[in-house]
Amino acid sequence: MRIRAPSLEWRLTRSRALVTLGCLFVLFTVFALAGCSARIVPPAEPLDPVSVWVLDHGRHSSLLLPAEDGINRYSWGDWQWYAEGVTGITSGLKALFVPSPSALGRQHLPEATDLKTALSRMSVGVAASTELRVEAEAARRLRTSLDARFDDATQRRYNPDYDLLFIADPRPYSLGDNSNRRVGEWLTELGCEIRGNPLLSGWRLADPR
């Protein structure tokens, strides 16, 4: 008996069904974790304080650090999604649930010294911002460390959609290890304490006392 191969229409219908199920699973996961926002406990009394800012872009976060001639914005995410701009449903599901190559992004905002000026020179949306006062030396060390990565990179890619220059990062990206968690790690290097789950970008500032 000859078995007929599935028709093209059947294969397309099955593919759409799988994508729909995947989207529903993503929505369920996000809603289940919606209450898992993280609280930032800044250093109690920095001796030489300087302002840094956490930016909430709705789905991911970035960090603003003072630079010698302005402010630098740093972000981290899936390479295909952020650096290459491939933002389809399939790419999104893959980025969330399959460890994939990641990208470190940087934007330099020359002559910016405060949040208002920095935001006016950014082309990406910002849903909320959180200002923190940390030790100036800690902020300088973190910025120097991140900038050294760009100095050593042999290949860079600019994405105008995010207004960021990207380089490859060796650490794989996934839902459990995303931009918000990376920002949380940077904040820890600045002397902050992170309480709760930084999986989502709903940052809250806690009393350092």
* pLDDT tens digits, 25-38: 444 344 444 445 68
Give the per-residue pLDDT at 21.
44
- φ and ψ at residue 167, rounded to 5 degrees: -130, 160
- At 121-179, the pLDDT tens digits run 999 999 999 999 999 999 999 999 999 999 999 999 999 999 999 999 999 998 888 98
- Look over the chain and give the mean of its residue pLDDT values, rounded to a whole number: 82
The count of other CB atoms within 10 Å of the CB of residue 65 is 23
- The whole model's pTM is what? 0.79
Hey, where are the domains in the chain? 32-205
Smallest Cα–Cα separation from 105: which of 147, 75, 128, 140?
75
For 179, counting Cβ atoms within 10 Å of its Cβ (0-12 exposed, 13-18 middle, 19+ buried), the class is: buried
